[in-house]
Chains A and B, each alone.
Chain A
Amino acid sequence: GESVGLHLPTLSVQEGDNSIINCAYSNSASDYFIWYKQESGKGPQFIIDIRSNMDKRQGQRVTVLLNKTVKHLSLQIAATQPGDSAVYFCAENPNQAGTALIFGKGTTLSVSS
């Protein structure tokens, strides 16, 4: 079946470092991708999205990169802060009738000060 996965289940960084969280997707027809942040006890929170006609999109301290050739998505967080500690999910829209977003399993980011 088609799925969205993340390369690493956990990532530990020092405060102030840049973080890179990776995601591989399997559906070549997917045309829209989202990154979510989930803090303990809360629902997923939208961070940033990107459409398949783009390679890069920047937000506040975050950048999403899309490589359609190898079906790879990454989230870069600049100057990581303790408040960035959370689980990060990527999601894809497989662009198929009768389906909704498909979510990956998540990467837990731990930021130590």
Chain B
Amino acid sequence: NAGVTQTPKFQVLKTGQSMTLQCAQDMNHNSMYWYRQDPGMGLRLIYYSASEGTTDKGEVPNGYNVSRLNKREFSLRLESAAPSQTSVYFCASSPRGGSHSNQPQHFGDGTRLSIL
């Protein structure tokens, strides 16, 4: 009963390097999300995918791209990493997203990313 699985758990990059963070869920959820968590800032939405085949920008999308590979998988890509992107990244899923979805999101345990 894995839920939401994120890989890798830790990563150190140099400025300018690229990286893809992987996320997979086994709950047959339609909607998936990527957040970043910084000290004192709470969780901020980067991108989300309300359903397979769709993606939308969240609060802080600059410097990131996403791919909803299939219903299970939603990846986050940093094309040219910057020190400001040092953060903990969380992936989440919910049965159905969007403005009228009153359902909780289920989170993975995060990827801790440091950019030097």
Contacts and interface: CB of A to CB of B under 8 A. Distances in A.
B106 A46 contact: yes
Interface residues of A, number: 26
B41 interface: yes
Nearest to A106: B42
A4 to B, nearest CB: 8
Query: For the complex, would chain A's binding face be called helix, strand, loop or mixed by DSSP majority?
Result: loop
A103 B42 contact: yes
B56 interface: yes
Interface of B: 4, 33, 35, 40-45, 48, 56, 58, 90, 92, 97-102, 104-110
A80 B67 CA distance: 42
Interface string A49-84: 101000000000000000000000000000000000
B101 A93 contact: yes
13 contacts: A41-B109, A42-B110, A43-B109, A89-B42, A93-B99, A93-B101, A99-B99, A100-B105, A101-B105, A103-B44, A104-B42, A105-B40, A106-B42
A94 B58 CA distance: 14
